[in-house]
Structure 1
Amino acid sequence: MSFLISSVIASAFCLFLVQPLLAKQILPYFGGTASVWAVCMVFYQGALLGGYLYAHGLARFLAPRRQAQVHLVVLAGSLWALPVGLGQVDSVGSGQSWSIVWMLVRAVGIPYFVLSSTSPLMQAWYARLEPKGQAYKLFGWSNLSCALALLSFPFLLEPWLSLTRLNLYWSWGYGLVVLLLAASAVIVIRRSPANEAEERREPVRPGLLWPKWLFFSALGSLVLVSVTNHLCQSVAPVPFLWTVPLLLYLLTFTAVFEREWYSRRWGMPLAGAALLAMAAAYVYMQPGRMLAVGIPVFTIGCFLACFYCHGELAALKPEPGRLTQFYLVMAAGGTLGSLLVAFVAPRIFRGYVELPVVLCVTAMAMLFSVYGRHLAVDLAAAACAILVTTPALAVFLTPLREIDAGRNFYGSLRVEQAEGKQGRPPIRSIIHGAISHGSQFNADGWRMRPTAYYGPNSGPGKWFTHTPGARRVGVVGLGAGTLAAYGRPGDEFRFYEINPMVVQFAKQHFRYLSDTPARVDIAVGDGRLLLEHEADQNFDLLVIDAFSGDSIPVHLLTREAFKTYRRHLKPGGILALHLSNLYLDLMPEVRVLAADQGFACKPVLDSGSEPDDVRPSIWALAGPAASLD
């Protein structure tokens, strides 16, 4: 049985190693937005469902010998899909979510499907050949192997190997896994009688079990994807924040299936405390504390909430003869959970509120799980549900100063208006998540005053003040269009903005673009990709100010990106990078990247002016040393 066990462990490792590997390669094509990982999870869970359906069909309708023969053919055919990789991507299309799914189908669809079928199929064979064995323990070992794969990517592989080389090594590893799986299939063929009849089973009537399997598996997936989405929106969409929650999610499967550690007596109170902590942190935590406090609260909370969901799931597991059906429903629940976050939530919510909704649903599930068992337990569960639901639902109270709001693939936006300070007129702001991306005074004579991070003492502000004559300016990231306030007759401004809703709000609710005397052009798409494909623009100033919440898309701060920026600057041109960030000191990295292009780098710190709505900001100006004097 060592081949079967080794096949499960090796397949699981490859299955989860490829997840962050391909997601990171897709990220730059969609502006580095946090939604990329949520959509990737839809494909991964959906392909897993397909693999489980295939395994269930083999186990349900074919004898083990015939199952192994069919699987050998599938294994051989899957080798034609190697090597994995995105290949040449010329266009991502207008439907961002489905474009990501299609890119993944082309890159790894067939091998991923084959790997997904391994765990339930090998367990079914194991249960048949070793009736006294514990087939469910293979599921725990498989999830432990998945966790090791997730740990290895950000810490052991990504820092030292290029993504192209990792694609190649993964393809070789997949070939070795196919050999292991083929050896396992041959063993099953040899140990099964040649004249074994197809097994005829009575139709399975699981009663009310399968809806519970579906509910708890979907709830665990909802917790995972919504917590990951929140962390990536608040900090940065990087593989570390993808893999840590997923790692903890997988470890809960190991704990409840392989070790059988779950007990309602202590598992449910811990999960209740975790829900309460996450609800309070979601509503009350200041953005600046997200890195030190928020990440531990939400990752540990995710683990304990999923531990509850999967503990309840493990308590409902059927006998080994029905394990493929059990895993099939589990996979369907996982796919349903990721679909709700990645595809349904952006269409029914105006903001990122799926996390508080999921916290409320989980709290109510705990209440109904123990209802009627004991009065004290009922009261404790009800108190937990109320305490979680009250702060979590507070996010649905629409602020009185909100003018407009919306959400799409790239995030949630809203426009708010607040009273001015010290006799100033009202100020209107465009906000992405919890971070303002620009503002404007709402009164004649005040509208064209630069505000937010673009005041006279900011990096661009100082450049505009000391640069006479007609100027050609490129800006990656539109926001409210505040930089257009510096425009003069003869100036040209070219904005690059990936989010169509930002363009809509900037034109509809702000007047920087319409009132500036400069000529303004807006290119909709990812700034780096557009610049890569455009002819030289000969900018006097190129501003990189593409935020997503308070995170900066990491693909804009690479050696390749800086090479592209330099190509679009005229001789003596300046590159201005907005580096204000609550969590990361990006200045050292920018100095290295600038030096690599032969540029000097000058930091510009603006302390801001609260009455004028000029906020503190950190800028880096890069260019020839003579141009920075």
Structure 2
Amino acid sequence: MLQTARTTPPRRGLFVATILVGSFLLFLVQPMVARMALPRLGGAPNVWNSAMLVYQALLLAGYAYAHWLGRFALKRQAMIHLALLLVAALTLPVGLIDMPRIAGLPEAAWVPLLLGASIGPVFFVVSAQAPLMQRWFAAAPEAGAPWALYAASNLGSFAGLIAYPLLAEPLLSVRLQSLAWSGGFAVLVVLVALAGFSRRTAPAPVTQAHAAERIPGRTIGLWLLLSAVPSGLMLSTTTHLTTDIFAMPLLWVIPLGLYLLSFVIAFSDRRGPATVVSRVAPVVVLFMGSYAMLSNGSGTLWAVAGTCLLLLCVATTLHARLYDLRPGEAQLTRFYLVMSAGGALGGVFTALIAPLVFDWAWEHPLLVLAAALLMPLRPLLNWRDNADMEPGMARIALGVVLAFAGFLGWELLETMLDPEEVLFSLMLTVFLVGLGIMVMAWRWGFAAVLLIAMVGQGGFWTVRATLEHERTRSYFGIYTLRDDAEGRFRTLAHGTTLHGMQALDPAHTHDALTYYGPGSGVALALAAVPAIEGPQARVGVVGLGTGSLACRSQRGQDWTFFEIDPVVLRFSTTRQFTFLKDCTPKARVVIGDARLELAHVAPRSFDVLVIDAFSSDAIPMHLLTTEALAVYRRALTPGGLLILHISNRYIDLAPVVGANARASALMALSRLDFPEDEVRYTPSRWIALSADRAVLDRLARQHPDAPWSKLEERAPEPWTDDHASILPYVRWSRLTGNP
């Protein structure tokens, strides 16, 4: 054994580098392939759900492969793994394969098949890196425990995740990204070969250890839960933030990054940071977890920071408990296999089951409560086991505390209706946190105080909205249909973003409100269409919403709507919004991704095309590239009019449109509308484009009192399917609340 130790030195740096490179590539390729898939598969969320399922399945398969490989001697493992790496290299560079659609195969099965066939080989073999390299590292008797290498793995994953939006996407085209990734894969193969060579004399696996350490089923079940809850909470935090708190692009990166960082802290050899986080986590869960049922769109950076702090504390605490329950090194790959299965279960619950079962992001408070039931609790006041207090008296005291917590929760609910009672609400929340700390000796009592705080902190109104069926949920989002207190308007909101409004007064029920008021660019353009394109113009609209634009139609025109979400169409067909039925009853509605559907219409099918897909805060990038403009131009007549809606709180799209218009030989006019009636109408910006300058000249002359201006903004480069990034156009000042 001593001789073996001398011939197989630890070489910790080599293994850390191998793990870092593998994890970096793994999390870099995920957004890269998603970006590649946009033009071909569209931007439907079910495509991303399918992609995430493929990634989770491949990750689980990679961990299972690493576990299976452990039965061989290290030399044989290295030979097999290197052979698979070289076979996978034959599929490079990364990209979607040219696979035709299979007749009769549903989209839900075809998309995972396409993605799996395109990225499956490299993703599978790279995903095995972390557990496999840890096992090889531990084969040297003097190497020490390998668990800290898992922290290095997640550090590499975090770096890859951040590198894509910050470096790869802004600086490199999709083709260059693919080539650069292939270069990184070559480096990984060399590192794996060196790591395998350094362990060439290591002994065969010690199978006796497997037999000696029998893991109870209860422990395996606990591993699954401790892995599933943080994974699900990471996804639910993303949904909760982007839907109900702060609809900011790129926000999804933050929860995933914090989730990865939690592994770095929890699996580190230095236990101090993990211990500190675990000690403060119950307080954070009580305070920030109380906001988990809030659905009124608080929209502040403090709310975002608090929600992210909650995720980091919960994930670190549960992963630290997972670390404390780790088995011996002989069971390393089995441990990671169960962890991967738990992560996949959490993802399936949040990404697939929850949207089908719940009308709102109820999975988020449920997972916070589950975390409260799983995290270690170290009571400051241990009434339960206090020898000086009778058990009966302890239970009575617990009941009194819970009753007082219920009273404070009711008071908190009352103060939420008054904006001037912010400080009093904060004080009540702090008192509830104190009561939760007092009952930490009873885990269910701790969870009960947390639930009371959730309901008092706005959860009551969220529950009421569910009971009154105000919300509808699909894979595309959470929609809230609500009449105002005075009964004047009915609104449709997607999270915090208003998607349309209709007046309930019969005299004004056909008025186009919000972004479509009389001074808006689209209203002016549609009013001018008979003079520009003739009385029988064919009009296409991308984005149905409430159907407001239908009532901008005129006699003799032929209208077609393109809408990605069938649920949105249902609001119009059930007459919850009557614009479509009343104003364009013969209009066609095409369900699907607009760019893909427009690519299949006959050339010159429309005289006017309105693209109204940018009013929310998520940018469907593939609808605004030069290739997308080519699709629109093909669908338009040579003298057709293209109208783009680019109103957005956080992204300045005007320079992008200006650069794309110039690259596509299109002229462009801009219309900024700041209506005086801020109750009925919303500020908006619309861009009119045409290949015929005379068309825009006639448009500008139609309404001299509502002037259009020449679009002067220009990005340095146009957006293309191969290269586009929203990062340079983010209005960073808006994130802090400045105009």
* TM-score, with length taken from structure 1: 0.87
Equivalent runs, 1:142-161 vs 2, <5 Å:
142-161=153-172
Counterpart for residue 339 of structure 1? 348
Is the 1:84–1:167 contact (alpha carbons within 8 Å) kept by the matching residues of 2?
Answer: yes
Please tell me whether residue 310 in structure 1 is matched to residue 381 in structure 2: no
Identify if the C-alpha distance between structure 1 residues 517 and 109 changes in structure 2 by more than 3 Å, giving closer, same or farther: closer
Identify if the C-alpha distance between structure 1 residues 41 and 304 changes in structure 2 by more than 3 Å, giving closer, same or farther: farther
Aligned equivalent of 1:326, options 314, 335, 345: 335
The C-alpha deviation readout for 1:36-92, integer Å capped at 9, x for no partner, is: 555544332332221111212222x33434433433443343233333211347669
CA distance in 2, matches of 1:370, 1:392: 29
Counterpart for residue 675 of structure 2? 607
Equivalent runs, 1:355-434 vs 2, <5 Å:
355-366=364-375, 369-370=377-378, 374-375=382-383, 377=437, 379=439, 381=446, 383-384=449-450, 386-388=452-454, 390-391=456-457, 393-394=459-460, 396-399=462-465, 405-418=471-484, 426-434=488-496
Kindly state the Cα deviation for residue 335 of structure 1 after the two structures are TM-superposed. Answer: 0.7
User: Which stretch has the larger CA shift, 260-269 or 448-457?
Assistant: 260-269
Is the 1:539–1:570 contact (alpha carbons within 8 Å) kept by the matching residues of 2?
Answer: yes
SS of 1:352's partner is coil
Q: Counterpart amino acid of 1:222?
A: G
Counterpart for residue 539 of structure 2? 473
The C-alpha deviation readout for 1:383-408, integer Å capped at 9, x for no partner, is: 45643465374364233995664322
Aligned equivalent of 1:241, options 228, 251, 254: 251
CA distance in 2, matches of 1:118, 1:173: 14
Is the 2:283–2:437 contact (alpha carbons within 8 Å) kept by the matching residues of 1?
Answer: no
Identify if the C-alpha distance between structure 1 residues 504 and 553 changes in structure 2 by more than 3 Å, giving closer, same or farther: same
CA distance in 2, matches of 1:9, 1:524: 43
Kindly state the Cα deviation for residue 345 of structure 1 after the two structures are TM-superposed. Answer: 0.6
Kindly state the Cα deviation for residue 459 of structure 1 after the two structures are TM-superposed. Answer: 1.5
Please tell me whether residue 438 in structure 1 is matched to residue 449 in structure 2: no
CA distance in 1, matches of 2:689, 2:563: 22
CA distance in 1, matches of 2:592, 2:95: 23
Is the 1:38–1:342 contact (alpha carbons within 8 Å) kept by the matching residues of 2?
Answer: yes
Equivalent runs, 1:45-64 vs 2, <5 Å:
45-59=56-70, 61-64=71-74
SS of 1:450's partner is coil
Identify if the C-alpha distance between structure 1 residues 344 and 473 changes in structure 2 by more than 3 Å, giving closer, same or farther: same
Is the 2:606–2:640 contact (alpha carbons within 8 Å) kept by the matching residues of 1?
Answer: yes
- Paired residues, number: 617
SS of 1:314's partner is helix
Counterpart for residue 505 of structure 1? 571
User: Which stretch has the larger CA shift, 566-575 or 209-218?
Assistant: 566-575
The C-alpha deviation readout for 1:240-290, integer Å capped at 9, x for no partner, is: 434332222212211121232345555342464266336537626646x35
SS of 2:529's partner is coil
Please tell me whether residue 22 in structure 1 is matched to residue 33 in structure 2: yes
Counterpart for residue 118 of structure 2? 107
SS of 2:267's partner is helix
Aligned equivalent of 2:260, options 250, 264, 268: 250
Counterpart for residue 533 of structure 1? 600
Identify if the C-alpha distance between structure 1 residues 374 and 41 changes in structure 2 by more than 3 Å, giving closer, same or farther: farther
The C-alpha deviation readout for 1:414-455, integer Å capped at 9, x for no partner, is: 43334656xxxx533333233332233446554322223222
Aligned equivalent of 1:490, options 556, 566, 576: 556
Please tell me whether residue 460 in structure 1 is matched to residue 522 in structure 2: yes
Is the 2:295–2:458 contact (alpha carbons within 8 Å) kept by the matching residues of 1?
Answer: no
CA distance in 2, matches of 1:430, 1:91: 36
Identify if the C-alpha distance between structure 1 residues 377 and 97 changes in structure 2 by more than 3 Å, giving closer, same or farther: farther
Equivalent runs, 1:88-107 vs 2, <5 Å:
88=98, 98-107=109-118
Kindly state the Cα deviation for residue 370 of structure 1 after the two structures are TM-superposed. Answer: 4.3
Please tell me whether residue 516 in structure 1 is matched to residue 583 in structure 2: yes
SS of 1:327's partner is helix
Counterpart for residue 573 of structure 1? 640
CA distance in 2, matches of 1:626, 1:548: 26
SS of 1:350's partner is coil
Identify if the C-alpha distance between structure 1 residues 160 and 550 changes in structure 2 by more than 3 Å, giving closer, same or farther: closer
User: Which stretch has the larger CA shift, 76-85 or 49-58?
Assistant: 76-85
Q: Counterpart amino acid of 1:447?
A: T
Q: Counterpart amino acid of 2:491?
A: S
User: Which stretch has the larger CA shift, 517-526 or 153-162?
Assistant: 517-526
CA distance in 2, matches of 1:223, 1:125: 32
Please tell me whether residue 125 in structure 1 is matched to residue 136 in structure 2: yes
Counterpart for residue 448 of structure 1? 510
Larger radius of gyration: 2
Is the 2:290–2:450 contact (alpha carbons within 8 Å) kept by the matching residues of 1?
Answer: no
Identify if the C-alpha distance between structure 1 residues 228 and 311 changes in structure 2 by more than 3 Å, giving closer, same or farther: same
Kindly state the Cα deviation for residue 476 of structure 1 after the two structures are TM-superposed. Answer: 0.5
Counterpart for residue 202 of structure 1? 211
SS of 1:398's partner is helix
CA distance in 1, matches of 2:277, 2:187: 43
Please tell me whether residue 163 in structure 1 is matched to residue 234 in structure 2: no
The C-alpha deviation readout for 1:312-335, integer Å capped at 9, x for no partner, is: 222222222222121111111111
The C-alpha deviation readout for 1:434-486, integer Å capped at 9, x for no partner, is: 33322334465543222232222221212233333232211100112221112
Counterpart for residue 429 of structure 2? none
CA distance in 1, matches of 2:337, 2:545: 45
Kindly state the Cα deviation for residue 204 of structure 1 after the two structures are TM-superposed. Answer: 4.0
Identity of aligned residues (%): 33
